[in-house]
């Protein structure tokens, strides 16, 4: 049985179709990554799982129940930004959120102390939220989410705005959570998604475009990617290679995408004629690359449309 | 239920622990006291003046009597018998030679005196007709020469006119009596008025069973107590409801609303907040009423605060907190920032201030039409019915009960409508909301 089972769910806001005939199953005990461009329907989907929003059609089963409109103490949600009362102290906020989840005070206190210690916030327990740095308040917000020992945790962009040290701390905390809970998180950080997730789900314009294990997704996109580095060569020296349909400059590396006729050994031979090859790798596309391939044509289109509007005005 | 109480407790603490709350708790009575004090200072300044009026005496014989009356006024009448404090302005009369008795001359003189009035030299002028000693037969229309005429544009002129009329009447009557060989002294003695004493009604003390005659203290309480209770109701509800609205805007802006809605249903969240509002209002009430009772006791007028007034005050306070709390919360849930609450809350503030505007009429006549209607209209009932209950005339028991029932129905309607606005509004970001939108949300949910 899945922790979350979404069947044929559609949600509109006025004329805008936010989620379109979406189906998804999140297995219990897994870490599930939601990716997708801004405004693609991630947050709406999360809110429907939270029962903050009801779907127009279709069903959302969460932890085996589909009682709509009732909140569930076993489900916890970390919204994308802030979500804390500025004038309250750290421990007061955490106790309040624990109480809202129906936790007893004595019970909550122990849990709160444990989490504050683990995330290096013990010294700040009695400070006001307004006195904390962004990273610190984000960690407090994370604790507020998980303090009541939920079985399903939804995290909306948990890593945005965190420095690398805090990002690692949070990553460890999420890995620790999976022992007791199913975790769903949305992110723009593809590296984090690749490292943490058992499953990745991509939504674009309200439709599911990717869903599966990383392995499944990457093999579906084949081995059409070459990563190369030429010594002291300008990226433009890679122009006009036979069989290569696209060149992406990754900085230190150049990523080449092969066309249908392209063959890696022919490209390598051509590269060796052009300069001294320092790195050559036949790779499967990164999640980043797959994301961009799906989303870019649409985004480019959108820009085009906006340009048109500008002219009319 | 534990969750609802957790919300209520947080809201209560968040509202009561702020500096703004404590400051307004202290400042509000000071403000009321100082505005009352200011009124006194203005009145006092008015009474210390000397007013100058011109007198055109066409009889040519009343000057000595009027001068004597002025002297008596300035030496005796301006002072309060008990306190010896001066309570009205001194008068100075300037006797002007009458013009020729033609219409044009009379008009020219009036114009000239009016000009001196306009420059501030005179506060007004009095014209005594040449024929004032003649008795106009009852039923016939007096003509100009029989009149005492007073002209002024000053607002305070009425007091002088009344005084002047009495002074001229006295002098004229003395003359008429003398003409008929009657001794004015005898007539004066016979005309000694029967004394009139104004007192409030007699009541039976519910505690001791003894009959208590209306005292002058309860007279003071009769006006004071209803006014204070009604204004207190207003202040309390405002101090309770406005912070709840501000908190909601913060919750929307900081995306706290999403977290909260993930924990409790919108209705429970609002219920918790409403309990918080009622608790804040009750705190303000107990501080002020406790303090007020202590002050009233020290003046010996605490008897007017009966247990039944307390009880009805509590009932109406809770209901008012529910009505206005839910309305302000609907505003908070619909607005996306503080600035937007300003325009959205206008109708709520208007409904809330209406009873304050009617309060004067209610105090003057607690059983009058305005008072009775106002104390049944749900939005003004809490304030005006409390004021009427505290007035000495009292109110039959079924009236507050019926009004309370009406307010209760309104409160439930407001809570229901606000919870629908709440559910839609809380997750809405950065969009300006019109009243038409609100109506749509309430209708569709």
Structure confidence at residue A221 (pLDDT): 77
d(CA A246, CA A24): 33
Structure confidence at residue A305 (pLDDT): 41
Looking at the predicted structure, is the pLDDT value of residue B445 above 70?
A: no
Contact A259, A245 (CB under 8 A): yes
Q: Supply the ipTM of this predicted assembly.
A: 0.72
Q: What percent of chain A has pLDDT over 90?
A: 14
CA neighbor of A145 nearest in space, from A93, A193, A109: A93
Minimal Cβ distance to A84: which of B256, B262, B263: B256
Minimal Cβ distance to B261: which of A52, A73, A81: A52
- Using CB atoms within 10 Å of the CB of residue B178, give its burial: 0 to 12 exposed, 13 to 18 middle, 19+ buried: exposed
d(CA B311, CA B294): 18
8-state DSSP, B75: I
Structure confidence at residue A184 (pLDDT): 93
Summarised one tens digit per residue, pLDDT across range A108-163 is 999 999 999 988 899 999 999 989 888 888 899 999 989 888 899 999 888 887 88
Average pLDDT over residues B35-58: 82
Average pLDDT over residues B297-323: 83
Task: Using the CB atoms, write b or e for A110-122: b if 16+ within 10 Å.
Answer: ebbeebbeebebe
Minimal Cβ distance to A77: which of B10, B262, B264: B262
Q: CA-based angle B375:B380:B381, to the nearest 5?
A: 40
A228: which strand partners? Answer: A254, A280
d(CA A227, CA A36): 24
CA neighbor of B258 nearest in space, from A108, A209, A52, A133: A52
d(CA B338, CA A190): 38
Mean pLDDT over all residues of chain B? 84
Task: List the structure tokens of B71.
Answer: 């002297």
Summarised one tens digit per residue, pLDDT across range A203-257 is 888 888 888 888 888 887 777 788 888 876 666 677 777 778 888 887 788 888 8
Q: How confident is the model at residue B220 (pLDDT cuts 50, 70, 90)?
A: low
Average pLDDT over residues B412-435: 79
Average pLDDT over residues B202-210: 73
Cβ–Cβ gap B265/A69 under 8 Å: yes
Using beta carbons and an 8 Å cutoff, which residues of A are at the interface with B? 47, 50, 52-53, 69-71, 73, 75-88, 96-97, 99-102, 144-145
Looking at the predicted structure, is the pLDDT value of residue A183 above 90?
A: yes
Neighbours of A144 (CB within 10 A): 25
Average pLDDT over residues B377-405: 87
C-alpha torsion angle, residues A254, A255, A256, A258 (rounded to 10): 170
Summarised one tens digit per residue, pLDDT across range B91-149 is 999 999 998 888 899 999 999 999 999 998 899 999 998 888 888 877 777 677 888 89
Structure confidence at residue A153 (pLDDT): 92
d(CA B252, CA B246): 10
Least confident range from A138-142, A263-267, A295-299, A300-304: namely A300-304
CA neighbor of B135 nearest in space, from B187, B172, B163: B172
Beta-strand ranges (E) seen in B339-394 are: none
Looking at the predicted structure, is the pLDDT value of residue A307 above 50?
A: no
Structure confidence at residue B429 (pLDDT): 66
What's the N-to-C CA distance of chain A in angstroms?
54
Minimal Cβ distance to A102: which of B3, B14, B265: B3
Contact A52, A7 (CB under 8 A): no
Element (H, E) at B393: none
**Which residues of chain A have a CB within 8 Å of the CB of B250?**
85-86
C-alpha torsion angle, residues B3, B4, B5, B10 (rounded to 10): 90
Looking at the predicted structure, is the pLDDT value of residue A313 above 60?
A: no
Structure confidence at residue A89 (pLDDT): 92
Summarised one tens digit per residue, pLDDT across range B161-204 is 999 999 999 899 888 888 888 888 888 888 888 888 777 677 77
CA neighbor of B276 nearest in space, from B5, B3, B2, B1: B5
Looking at the predicted structure, is the pLDDT value of residue A311 above 50?
A: no
Structure confidence at residue A308 (pLDDT): 36
Q: How many alpha carbons fall within 13 Å on the CB side of residue B151? A: 19
A206: which strand partners? Answer: none
Q: What percent of chain A has pLDDT over 70?
A: 91
Cβ–Cβ gap A97/B259 under 8 Å: yes
**Which residues of chain B have a CB within 8 Å of the CB of A145?**
259
Nearest residue of chain A to residue B426 (CA atoms): A52
Cβ–Cβ gap A71/B265 under 8 Å: yes
CB-based contacts of B348: which residues, under 8 Å, 6+ apart?
B324, B327, B328, B331
8-state DSSP, B367: T
Looking at the predicted structure, is the pLDDT value of residue B287 above 90?
A: no
Looking at the predicted structure, is the pLDDT value of residue A306 above 60?
A: no
Contact A118, B21 (CB under 8 A): no
Nearest residue of chain B to residue A84 (CA atoms): B256
Minimal Cβ distance to A100: which of B18, B260, B427: B260
Contact A46, A80 (CB under 8 A): no
Q: Which long-range contacts (C-beta less than 8 Å, at least 24 apart) are formed by A121-127?
A: A121/A90, A124/A90, A125/A89, A125/A90, A125/A91, A126/A89, A126/A90, A126/A91, A127/A89, A127/A90
Residues in chain A: 313
Structure confidence at residue A238 (pLDDT): 76
Cβ–Cβ gap B264/A85 under 8 Å: no
Structure confidence at residue B276 (pLDDT): 93
């Amino acid at each position: 049985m899945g922790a979350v089972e979404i069947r044929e769910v559609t949600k509109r806001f006025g004329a805008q179709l936010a989620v379109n005939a979406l189906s998804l199953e999140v297995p219990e005990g897994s870490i599930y990554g939601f990716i997708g461009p801004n405004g693609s329907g991630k947050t709406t989907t999360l809110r429907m799982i939270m029962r903050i929003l009801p779907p127009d059609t279709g069903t959302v089963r969460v932890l085996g129940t589909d009682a709509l409109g009732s909140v569930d103490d076993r489900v916890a949600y970390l919204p994308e930004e802030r979500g804390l009362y500025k004038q309250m102290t750290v421990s007061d906020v955490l106790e309040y959120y624990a109480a809202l989840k129906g936790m007893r005070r004595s019970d909550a206190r122990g849990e709160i102390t444990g989490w504050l210690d683990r995330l290096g916030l013990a010294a700040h327990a009695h400070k006001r939220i307004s006195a904390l740095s962004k990273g610190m308040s984000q960690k407090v917000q994370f604790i507020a989410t998980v303090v009541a020992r939920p079985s399903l945790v939804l995290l909306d962009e948990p890593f945005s705005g965190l420095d690398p040290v805090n990002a690692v701390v949070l990553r460890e905390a999420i890995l620790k959570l999976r022992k007791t809970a199913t975790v769903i998180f949305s992110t723009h950080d593809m590296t984090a998604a690749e490292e943490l997730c058992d499953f990745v789900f991509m939504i674009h314009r309200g439709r599911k475009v990717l869903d599966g294990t990383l392995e499944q997704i990457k093999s579906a996109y084949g081995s059409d990617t070459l990563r190369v580095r030429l010594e002291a060569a300008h990226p433009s020296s890679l122009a006009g290679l036979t069989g290569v349909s696209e060149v992406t400059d990754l900085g230190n590396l150049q990523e080449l995408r092969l066309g249908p006729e392209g063959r890696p050994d022919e490209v390598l031979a051509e590269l060796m004629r052009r300069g001294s090859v320092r790195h050559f790798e036949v790779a499967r596309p990164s999640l980043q690359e797959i994301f961009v391939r799906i989303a870019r044509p649409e985004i480019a289109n959108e820009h085009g449309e906006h340009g048109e509007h500008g002219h009319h005005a | 239920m534990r969750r609802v109480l957790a919300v209520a407790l947080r809201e209560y603490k968040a509202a009561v622990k702020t500096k703004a709350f404590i400051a307004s708790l202290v400042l509000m009575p000071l403000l009321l006291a100082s505005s009352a004090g200011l009124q006194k200072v203005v009145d006092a300044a008015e009474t210390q003046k000397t007013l100058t009026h011109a007198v055109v005496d066409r009889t040519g014989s009343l000057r000595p009597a009027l001068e004597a009356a002025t002297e008596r006024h300035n030496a005796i009448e301006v002072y309060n018998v008990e306190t010896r404090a001066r309570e009205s302005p001194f008068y100075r009369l300037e006797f002007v030679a009458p013009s020729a008795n033609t219409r044009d001359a009379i008009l020219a003189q009036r114009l000239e005196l009016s000009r001196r009035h306009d420059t501030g030299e005179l506060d007004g002028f009095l014209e005594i007709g040449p024929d004032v000693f003649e008795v106009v037969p009852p039923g016939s229309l007096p003509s100009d020469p029989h009149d005492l005429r007073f002209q002024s544009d000053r607002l305070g002129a009425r007091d002088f006119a009344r005084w002047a009329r009495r002074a001229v009447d006295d002098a004229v009557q003395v003359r008429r009596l003398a003409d008929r060989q009657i001794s004015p002294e005898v007539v004066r003695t016979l005309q000694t008025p029967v004394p009139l004493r104004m007192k409030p009604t007699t009541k039976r003390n519910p505690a001791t069973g003894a009959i208590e005659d209306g005292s002058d203290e309860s007279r003071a309480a009769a006006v004071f107590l209803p006014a204070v209770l009604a204004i207190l109701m207003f202040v309390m509800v405002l101090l309770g409801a406005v912070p709840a609205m501000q908190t909601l805007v913060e919750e929307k802006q900081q995306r706290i609303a999403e977290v909260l809605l993930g924990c409790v249903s919108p209705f429970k969240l609002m219920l918790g907040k409403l309990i918080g509002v009622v608790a804040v209002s009750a705190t303000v009430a107990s501080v002020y009423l406790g303090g007020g009772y202590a002050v009233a006791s020290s003046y010996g007028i605490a008897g007017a605060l009966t247990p039944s007034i307390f009880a009805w005050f509590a009932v109406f306070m809770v209901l008012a907190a529910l009505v206005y709390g839910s309305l302000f919360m609907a505003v908070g849930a619909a607005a996306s920032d503080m600035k937007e609450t300003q325009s959205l809350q206008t109708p709520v503030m208007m409904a809330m201030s209406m009873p304050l505007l009617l309060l004067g009429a209610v105090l003057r006549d607690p059983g009058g039409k305005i008072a009775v209607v106002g104390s049944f209209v749900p939005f003004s009932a809490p304030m005006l019915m409390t004021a009427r209950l505290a007035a000495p005339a009292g109110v039959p028991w079924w009236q507050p009960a019926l009004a309370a029932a009406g307010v209760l129905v309104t409160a439930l309607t407001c809570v229901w409508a606000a919870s629908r606005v709440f559910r839609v509004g809380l997750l809405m970001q950065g969009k300006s909301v019109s009243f038409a939108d609100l109506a749509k949300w309430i209708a569709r949910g």
